[in-house]
Structure 1
Amino acid sequence: MLIKRVLTNNAVITIGDDGKDKIVCGKGIAFKKRSGDEIDPSLINQVFILQNDSNVIKFEQLLKDVPIEYIRLAYDIAEMAKMEFAKSFHDSMIVTLSDHLYTAIQRCKEGLLIKNALLWDIKNFYEIEYEIGLRAVELIKDKMKIDFPEDEAGFIALHIVNAQLDKNSMENIFKVTKLIQEITTIVKYHFHIEFDTGSAYYYRFITHLKFFSLRLFNHDQYDENDETELLDMVIEKYTTAYDCAKKIKDFLIHKYDYHLKDDELLYLTIHIHRIVTKMNAKGGDGK
């Protein structure tokens, strides 16, 4: 395996058999080496396969600022998520998560702990991602001898959420989580219920709200169809759910200057009716 470019004494770029760049890491792997030299295979302990040139540049910058063990830690967490969701995650997750872990661990060593104001919402809206976050905290404790607070499991969960959604930033994910919290609060107070956060209906409702919120913050235009007749039927059949949906519509206008379209109002009403009906059937009113 030939070196394409030396990044640090412990990391180099090579070209794989598939023609894609790889970052190959190992202690002293590039010591006194230059482009075109062979790599000692016995020194390799980590290989990152990158999808595009921009990520190579990001990794190169990351390696200048963040020790390799933090990148390896982020990679291990990404592998946890990959196994859980049966899908690959973008290289950008490794970059952003490595940087976060390095900064958070340094803060923790200095006794500076940041509270996660959205922790309760993260637990309830992103249950699987949060469970991975908890496992990641245990991994960090084992590898780095750092006792991370529960708040950090929530921050890691948001990185995993962000990695599953294209075109988004962590700032948008925070906004999405807050908006989901606001909408679910309106529904809870309207019907005087508490949600069964472990139910499939709750998961579907939160998923609908997640993608709706992303469209709102990404300013994506919703492809509206003429569902006027169907909406009229839903209004007549699901009156109380529609009243709640109208409250949400008014809230979105006043706080976010977003005007809910008829199709969005239709699907929101149906989702509200479904989850409230299921909660009432289980005796789930929160009075």
Structure 2
Amino acid sequence: MQIQKILNNNVVITTDQKNNEIVAMGRGLAFQKKIGDEITESAIDKTYHLANSDLFNKFQELLVDVSITYVEIANDIIDEAKVTLKNPLNDSLYISITDHLYAAIQRVKEGVRVRNLLLWDVKRLFPDEFSVGVSAVKKIKEKFNIDLGEDEAGNIALHLVNAQTESDNEDAYMMAELMQEIIQITSYYFKVQLDEESVYFYRFTTHLRFFASRIMNKRQLTDETDNELLLIIQKKYQNAYQCVEKIADFISKKYAYEMSNDEKLYLTIHIARLVQKVSE
């Protein structure tokens, strides 16, 4: 295999047996070498072939600035995610996870920690993705002696959620359409203009994106909420719950999807908080 481009001492661009351009990584792989030199397959630890040329170029740019250690740990996380989630993952995940880990670790080193306002949603709605996130945080603690905490476990989980949905443009369009329909039903029911700049609207729409993804994939959230808790929520947020019932009826008719009690409960809470802030 011949070196076509050297990104750093550990990473080069070369071609595989089918003449596909690939990223090849290995400790000291390009040390004291130049373009045109041969490298042996035994010296290569990992290769990456990203079919999308734009992603391939972005990955190259990232590898120029980021240590091989970050790429290796990102790769370990993605390998675990593939086994745990059993769903295809978009190639862009190699870029987003590596870049996110690098930025998150640098922030913590500088004493800056960012709260994940969606942590509660992520833990409850995406337990498998969150478990991979928790495992990732443990790997990072072992490698860098830095504890990123649950907030970053949730952020990593969000990257995994996105990587399972962003590959299908038609689904993405349908998700956006469904989200807009739910927002319109909510706005019309309460006869209010929702504040799209508020953090509550951000939380609401993020929750809707997860919810819409489950509807598109027919992945219903299992009911685990105690019936008594649901009754309490119904009583406390009567108007919000009635709005959710209208949403559930709409979704049932248009998308042939029956909302679970857990889904109704979470959507009720989000709508109640959103509308309360608009009314204040």
Q: Does TM-score exceed 0.5, indicating one fold?
A: yes
Per-residue Cα deviation, 1:45-71 (whole angstroms, up to 9, x for no partner): 222232232222111110122212111
**Structure 1 CA distance for aligned equivalents of residues 87 and 243 of structure 2:** 37
Give the 3-state SS of the residue equivalent to 2:132 in structure 1.
Answer: helix
Partner of 2:258: 271
For 1:221, the equivalent position in structure 2 comes to none
Q: How far 1:155 sits from its partner (Å)?
A: 0.3
- Bigger shift: residues 149-158 or 56-65: 56-65
Q: Which amino acid aligns with 1:58?
A: K
Q: Is the 8 A contact 2:87 2:164 kept in 1?
A: no
TM-score scaled by length of structure 2: 0.64
TM-align CA RMSD: 3.8
Residue 243 of structure 2: aligned partner: 247
Equivalent AA in structure 2 for residue 158 of structure 1: L
SS of equivalent to 1:99: helix
Query: What is residue 97 of structure 1 aligned with on the other side?
Result: 97
Is the contact between residue 70 and residue 101 of structure 2 (CA under 8 Å) also seen in structure 1? Answer: yes
Following superposition, the deviation at residue 40 of structure 1 comes to: 4.1
TM-score (norm 1): 0.62
SS at match of 1:103: helix
Taking the aligned partners of 1:143 and 1:135, their CA distance within structure 2 comes to 12
What pairs with 1:1-287 in structure 2 (closer than 5 Å)?
A: 1-166=1-166, 209-211=211-213, 247-248=243-244, 264-266=251-253, 271-272=258-259, 275=261
Contact 2:82 2:89 survives alignment (8 Å): yes
Partner SS for 2:12: strand
Residues 20, 51 of structure 1: 8 Å contact kept: no
Distance 1:113 1:213 in 2: 34
More displaced 10-residue stretch of structure 1: 134-143 or 17-26:
17-26
| Gapped regions of structure 1 (runs ≥ 5) | 187-205, 216-242, 253-259, 280-287
Shift of 1:245: 8.2
Query: Is the 8 Å Cα contact of residues 245 and 269 (structure 1) preserved in structure 2?
Result: no
Offset of residue 269 of structure 1: 8.7
Q: Percent of pairs identical after alignment? A: 36
Q: Secondary structure at the match of 1:271?
A: coil
Structure 2 unaligned residues grouped into runs of 5+: 187-207, 218-238, 266-280
What letter corresponds to residue 99 of structure 1 in structure 2? D
- Name the aligned partner's letter for residue 119 of structure 2: L
Alignment-derived partner of residue 233 in structure 1: none
- Amino acid in the other structure paired with 1:264: I
Q: CA deviation at 1:162?
A: 0.6
SS of alignment partner, residue 22 of structure 1: strand
In structure 1, the residue corresponding to 2:30 is in which secondary structure? coil
Q: CA offset at residue 41 of structure 1? A: 4.1
